[in-house]
Each structure stands twice: as C-alpha cells, then as structure tokens.
Amino acid sequence: MQLPNISETGEMIVDNCLRTGQQIAVVANAIAIAISKNLTPSEENILGNLIAQVGATLLSIAAIDEVSSSSDESQTSPSANPETTKQKQSDTKPQNKNTLQNNL
C-alpha cells in the first residue's frame, strides 16, 4: 500500500474533515491531549514551544509570499501607472473640518 505524501494528506484532511474553525480547534486539542499523555511537563514545554515556533514561521512565510504576490500583481496592473497613483492619493486626502461637519 502506498501512502500519500504529506501535502496530499493535508489537503485531504482540510477538504474532507476540517471545514470550520471549530472543527480544526477540536482536532488540535485532541492531538495535544493525546501527545501529552506520554510526556513529562518539561517535554510538553519543549514540544509546545517547537510547534509554536513552526507555526509562527509558517505565518511569516505566508505573509511574505502574500506581499510578494500582491506586489507582483500591482506591477503588472494598470493601477501601477504613476498618474493613476497620483490621482488616487489626491482622492484620499483628508477632508477639512467644515466639510466633515456639513456631512453630519
């Protein structure tokens, strides 16, 4: 029997089982409880910190990838035109106090 690779397994879990945040939380808690049964408090601390660091690193990588991809898209989009950018900036200038009071 051939086992699926980790990527396929993760996709299968997300696609088939974990459709809500609550379901993911329940599964994460069940895994943590099952793992902790065979660990000392010191080992739980070490493993917990390792998993937290892995999660933080994954979030950093995702954020950088997201910024990179949106930056790539903005370079190819028509809105990257300097004239368009100047117009957008002038449209977002703060209104003066009298205009704000008139709008209320």
**Per-residue pLDDT at 70:** 82
What digits encode the pLDDT tens for the residues 28-74? 999 999 999 999 999 999 999 999 999 999 999 999 999 988 877 77
**Per-residue pLDDT at 94:** 54
Mean pLDDT, the chain, rounded, equals: 76
Burial profile 72-95: b = 16 or more Cβ within 10 angstroms, e = fewer = eeeeeeeeeeeeeeeeeeeeeeee
- Rounded to an integer, what distance in angstroms lies between the CA atom of residue 101 and that of residue 104? 5
